[in-house]
Structure 1
Amino acid sequence: MRAWRVTSPGPMESRPLTLVDEPIPGPGPGELLVRVLACGVCRTDLHVAEGDLPAHRPHVVPGHEVVGEVVTVRDDGAGFAPGDRVGIAWLRGTDGTCAYCRRGAENLCPASVYTGWDADGGYAEYATVPAAYALPLPSGYDDIELAPLLCAGIIGYRALLRAELPPGGRLGIYGFGASAHLAAQVALAQGATVHVLTRSPAAQRLALELGAASAGAAADPPPESLDAAILFAPVGDLVPPALAALDRGGTLAVAGIHLSDVPPLDYQRHLFQERQLRSVTANTREDARAFLRFAGEHRLRVTTTPYPLGRADRALSDLAADAVTGAAVLVPDLG
């Protein structure tokens, strides 16, 4: 099979990925082997490729938004059978016994492992996944549309939960890529007013098309105070203006796994009056299932840019340059 491996982490212009031909992997105990039908390109993949995240598995295959068809089932397969369409997401394993797992916060498990970081992911023609962490997929979407739901959608959904947006509240979204454009639709479906702050004119236009009340530049103040905000752009400089835009008691959730340094905060302006700053750390399987159920009940518009698997390096370079509208998706059979 063909697969991309991170052979020399560094800036995309240094060509950190290498396309290789190698044997199809065999599923381990309790795992599924799937043929990859589509794999979303996530900013976390970029952080892995460029070395912003420390290497957990040398020469790993990135990719954790995988739509696949089950080829082989090892052991009981958790109810999956050959021919089933399944999703492979970021969370790949937890110990199931620690205090965090026992209280329903498996995303905080110290022994957690992740697809495309600790184990090979979906920038390949085949991949494996523990059956207990494979996800059933909603109907009504094609493979390319489904792929971004498996991280961009799931983590946006968790970020929305962490932001504690009240019913009918005013939500600010900073950055408007793959995850943000899905989270915005969830919030709008729940009756929120959404204001988008992003430097990309194309993303601003998309935000307005999807129903945002306003779309402005990333560091500009929104037209009204916010009950909650989510920072999707990995830009620490945006934390102070986002906090300053919050109304009393508002919450800012930072959705990324990586963030550049945050400038000093002014307590009175940014945090006083019970404003909150919260991080988002991965997701639980229940988050994933809840979001995918929501996507099955509410048809989301998934904006994608397909790339052939053989152009994964170009897809990541375009993502690094903010030249992708919506979500980039790799398709092995595209060309």
Structure 2
Amino acid sequence: MKAMVLHQTGQPLRLEVRPDPMPSPGEVRVKVEACAVCRTDLHVVDGELPDPRTPIVPGHEIVGIIDRIGKGVTGLGIGTRVGIAWLGHTCGHCSYCTSGHENLCDEPAFTGYSRDGGFATHVLADAAFVFPLPRCEDPAATAPLMCAGLIGWRCLRMAGDAQRLGLYGFGAAAHILAQVARWQGRDIFAFTRPGDVNAQKLALSLGAAWAGGSDELPAQPLDAAIIFAPVGALVPQALRAVRKGGKVVCGGIHMSDIPQFPYRILWEERQLLSVANLTRADAETFLEIVPKAGIRTTVTTYALEQANEALADLRAGRFQGAAVLVP
């Protein structure tokens, strides 16, 4: 197999040739068809997340075909197309796992962070944490759904029944979530980097009622806002944009420091929330919604060997939607 491997944070990934991995009991081996490049991968590579296992193969928005099955695996067959997401394993016995909050498990494993991920031609996965994709016809277009889509969906659930919804950072997650929210009949307000006309045009083409810079305020207060950009300064800006009793949901795994802000913009029962990881139930629900809502992703594809280029382009905001590696 080939893999793009991170040996030290802050350094480029290295292309390596390795023996094909063999699944342990309870695991499956997946031949990777596509792996989207997530901002979380960028945080791992740049050393912004603590203690990644190195060397590590990043990548956790994976679509591929099962080509080998470990002992004890049932319900999955060779040739089945599956998706693999960020949450790669949970303990199953901590208080979070037993209460329906496995996304907060005390002993989790994460794909591309604590176990090798999908920037490779093959990947091993816990069979209990893969998702059959019987309706997938385009692996590259489907790959961003496995994190950008799933985390966006969890963020939307936490935003409640907000009718006027602001999305800060119109990248991979927001361009998917906007379509779900419009399908639900919500009004979308897209906040991009100031002057990013291309992102604003994409938002409007996907049904946003308004699109502008993140330094602007909407004409009317929002019911809720979701922040996908890893910029702490957007938190007080979003709090100023939401109505009394409104919610601001932080959807990223990492964010720059939130600056000091006056209590008055949090007062009147505004809520500030964060989203962590996802549950398998989130994935199952969201993947059922995708065909009903007619979700279409905007992707730029790269060869596996171009993983460093894809990460650099993501860092610089040089494409719309999502980047996807296609081995």
Same fold (TM over 0.5): yes
1:130–1:298 Cα change, 3 Å: same
For 1:31 and 1:220, locate their aligned partners in 2 and report how far apart those are by CA, in whole Å: 49
- The CA deviation string for residues 223-247 of structure 1, in whole angstroms up to 9 with x for no partner, is 2210011000000011101011001
- The CA deviation string for residues 90-135 of structure 1, in whole angstroms up to 9 with x for no partner, is 0011111111111100001110110000000000000010100001
TM-score by length of 2: 0.97
Whichever residue aligns with residue 106 of structure 2, its letter is P
Matched, 1:300 2:304: no
Choose which of 141, 146, 149 in structure 1 pairs with 2:142: 146
Q: How many residues align structurally?
A: 325
Which residue in 2 is equivalent to 1:125? 121
- Identity among equivalent positions (%) equals 50
Whichever residue aligns with residue 122 of structure 1, its letter is G
Matched, 1:175 2:175: no
Contact 1:173 1:232 in 2 (8 A): yes
Matched, 1:86 2:74: no
Once the two structures are superposed, the pairs formed by residues 1-335 of structure 1 within 5 Å of their partners are 1-10=1-10, 15-137=11-133, 139=135, 141-166=137-162, 169-199=163-193, 200-268=196-264, 270-332=265-327
**Partner of 1:277: helix, strand, or coil?**
strand
**Partner of 1:244: helix, strand, or coil?**
helix
Cα deviation, residue 248, structure 1: 1.0
For 2:248 and 2:242, locate their aligned partners in 1 and report how far apart those are by CA, in whole Å: 8
Contact 1:138 1:296 in 2 (8 A): no
1:141–1:232 Cα change, 3 Å: farther
Whichever residue aligns with residue 286 of structure 2, its letter is F
1:187–1:138 Cα change, 3 Å: farther
Contact 1:38 1:68 in 2 (8 A): yes
- The CA deviation string for residues 3-52 of structure 1, in whole angstroms up to 9 with x for no partner, is 01111211xxxx43111111111111100001000000000000000100
For 1:110 and 1:203, locate their aligned partners in 2 and report how far apart those are by CA, in whole Å: 38
Contact 1:173 1:195 in 2 (8 A): yes
Contact 2:44 2:52 in 1 (8 A): no
For 2:292 and 2:147, locate their aligned partners in 1 and report how far apart those are by CA, in whole Å: 18
For 1:165 and 1:255, locate their aligned partners in 2 and report how far apart those are by CA, in whole Å: 17
Cα RMSD over matched residues? 1.0
Cα deviation, residue 218, structure 1: 1.2
Cα deviation, residue 78, structure 1: 3.6
TM-score by length of 1: 0.95
Whichever residue aligns with residue 6 of structure 2, its letter is V
Contact 2:136 2:142 in 1 (8 A): no
- The CA deviation string for residues 194-221 of structure 1, in whole angstroms up to 9 with x for no partner, is 0000012211110000000000001211
Contact 2:250 2:273 in 1 (8 A): yes
**Partner of 2:147: helix, strand, or coil?**
helix
- The CA deviation string for residues 150-190 of structure 1, in whole angstroms up to 9 with x for no partner, is 00000000011111133xx1000000000111111111111
For 2:62 and 2:136, locate their aligned partners in 1 and report how far apart those are by CA, in whole Å: 17
Contact 1:66 1:87 in 2 (8 A): yes
For 1:212 and 1:140, locate their aligned partners in 2 and report how far apart those are by CA, in whole Å: 26
Contact 1:48 1:55 in 2 (8 A): no
**Partner of 2:15: helix, strand, or coil?**
strand
- The CA deviation string for residues 263-314 of structure 1, in whole angstroms up to 9 with x for no partner, is 112111x211110000000000000111111113221010000111110000
Contact 1:85 1:136 in 2 (8 A): yes
Cα deviation, residue 140, structure 1: 5.2
- Name stretches of at least 5 consecutive residues in structure 1 with no aligned partner: none
**Partner of 1:79: helix, strand, or coil?**
coil
1:138–1:263 Cα change, 3 Å: farther
With 297-306 and 314-323 compared, the bigger mean Cα shift is at 297-306
For 2:74 and 2:260, locate their aligned partners in 1 and report how far apart those are by CA, in whole Å: 48
Cα deviation, residue 139, structure 1: 1.3
For 1:275 and 1:123, locate their aligned partners in 2 and report how far apart those are by CA, in whole Å: 40
Cα deviation, residue 76, structure 1: 3.6
Whichever residue aligns with residue 318 of structure 2, its letter is A
**Partner of 1:39: helix, strand, or coil?**
strand
- Name stretches of at least 5 consecutive residues in structure 2 with no aligned partner: none
With 312-321 and 67-76 compared, the bigger mean Cα shift is at 67-76
